[in-house]
Structure 1
């Protein structure tokens, strides 16, 4: 909860006017948006008001009518059935029953909004003489996601190629926002990263000048990255999904001719052009899984330790000069099905893991509605283990009704990376 500042502009002086006691000093409270605030109202005599009446109102402002904030009369109030409370205050205003014995009629307004700012009055009309207290509430705006005209949508983040083998180029893009948003790349720890100058395109339309902004950054560290769009003029800030970037893996992939690269390149050719020979050619190198088109398949992968707080990643073989396709990624509870961005389009909403099996080291994934295009070599890797481990799974998808030989399968031992 944010801090609340209460100040009074003068000492409490009283004047009896028309039978009502008025405080000349006005209480002023400052609070930040979305926090809770207490508006004080208490009798100096501290007499019990459990069976009294007190009424909180917000006087009319400009073209708006008076607002009914909170009403209490001998135990009957807005929160237990009494009608008449203004709609915007329903379910948001509360008082302390036990404090009534000490003459305390203060109220708490939860989740304050900008529209809550203004003058509030607390009145005891049946006291002799009647008493009135006045509070001015100031609500300061904060940066947050706002659904208003011109607010930037969630930034789109993508991984682009980079001429340097040990680096990746990340791109953040926002379209149609106004006023012009500021874009900022951050790493997984929330640290601001230095990027190139943004590319800005202006489009003048009837309602406003809209802005398309692109911000690119070169990264050499394997991490999760996100992009933040901020529009200070309207107090709007929104963050992209996190994207996983691993320049080290790209460099390993581009080397290609060494060890695993040569094996994968050969297997890709086998899968796409001689898929029936994959079981014979690679019998001693991969674990082979066969499935029928349109069905569901489990790709197995496991280690001998709890991986609930660890990291594993599934990718699929790629064509020449391409990066592997992102099938599934899990990182300490975050994954493609709840918050992480970057999954290849053809695998979205088709891949899931088995959460209850993670404690037993099982990182297997389930792919639904299998297609012929899913045929290929899949890599399951654990980059944070010591040593890191990698497994290869060969998937063959048969057409419905086909009758083909099944030469069996053998399992590859984990490879140290």
Structure 2
């Protein structure tokens, strides 16, 4: 039994592999197109790619083509891939006109040919938020809904919290099924049915009309339902009938500070009357407020600020309630406590930073180790403030500033980019930041593993021509390859690498600083650094090289892995057999000595036995 366990352990040691899961979270609004990212570091043209959601196939690529028959009916015709990018390892998919029902956990798998177990896995959570519409009480509102079909002879249905709002079937509105709450107040767009327009208008909305509305295309299984959140707000009026501006509560939610331990959230309700009750809730409906609100008055209006600290990743909602007005309003913000991003060298990375307000007129400042790497102010980027290493490699999401996205992307990240990044935003004229997000970035060195006596290419490239520039390769302080003034400088090269290192002269003009090391040795293992000496804007490239030893027989031939494994097993069996024989011999010898000792004791005891020495017995 012990031998079987030993053999099993050896087999796992020789053949076992592990794959780390990659996870992410994507949030969008209903009817937007969304791309679920999935990348693997090899060509996928001859691989099998399988996307699943809740155990169901939504996309399968195999034998060079998509298998539409395997797709879930709701996702068929709405899911596409990046055909031209499969060769570069891009297994991402795009879902068109995403619906709330598309929310869930998606898993991207790829399989090597002939393998039943996946060779790579990426997990992504998708949240599709419903459309939010806010309208004043007694006004008319249009709830938009459209599908890729003509409705002149098809059916669609609008519901709210289980109530029938509007049912269209066989070219007619079915008023008999309509709930009493909506009778006489809902109409559709008759002339636009042929264009797929299933929108409706609700006249003179009431507070009770607030809620979640669902528009369903009954004859179309391929297209999921549309959802809309309608909020009807109460308006106070003075004695003359004029509106009192700012009387109803409108909360705003912000993330003031995020790190690996927690996040500080702030909810602001300004200009409300009467005074509202303000509470923070998590996604399960638990009250997570940990302190009393700050309340100030300005005439008849109230300003409330409620801060709370949270310690887990979740969606948090600030709810403001005015019971006297039968009014409730809320604002939700998401928190990602993890705050740690890990990537490989030379990958592009996005450092996420979101605030719950427009940032077009704000100042945004990203810092790393006390140095500015990005500054946005007065509607434009200030490149002069950036750290030289990050200049030209850092970009932001210009079109998303209005929605509170202060994230940045670092192109071709280097090991030297690792560290703690802080994202700050400032209100105009403020010295202290109004919001702060902290993210840890780890850029791992690129690992390269190769067998002894083989040749290896160490990749390195820069965004410039190197024909008249300098670059230098080093390993643990030793000079590997120095290129200067258009020539390789052999005089500075360490003896260990002489005659074994070459570069790519025809590709220098394209910025290729890669080198080839011939007939690698065990001593070549270590960390290699490629440095562009004339470019401070571009940091060094680093990679780890591991040279594996190859056993050889007496003739100098390589011993393959199977021979090594079989030899190891035979050797193990021999060792175990010898140990077993040795243990058996020791046990036998010990038992023999014990028997000999017993017989000697019997003789000694017999000489002194009372019956034997009795004189009467002798006669």
Please tell me the TM-score bracket, short chain as reference: 0.3 to 0.5
Structure-1-length-normalised TM-score: 0.33
More helix per residue: 1 or 2? 2
Structure label with greater radius of gyration: 2
Q: Which has the higher contact order (CA 8 A, sep 6+)?
A: 1
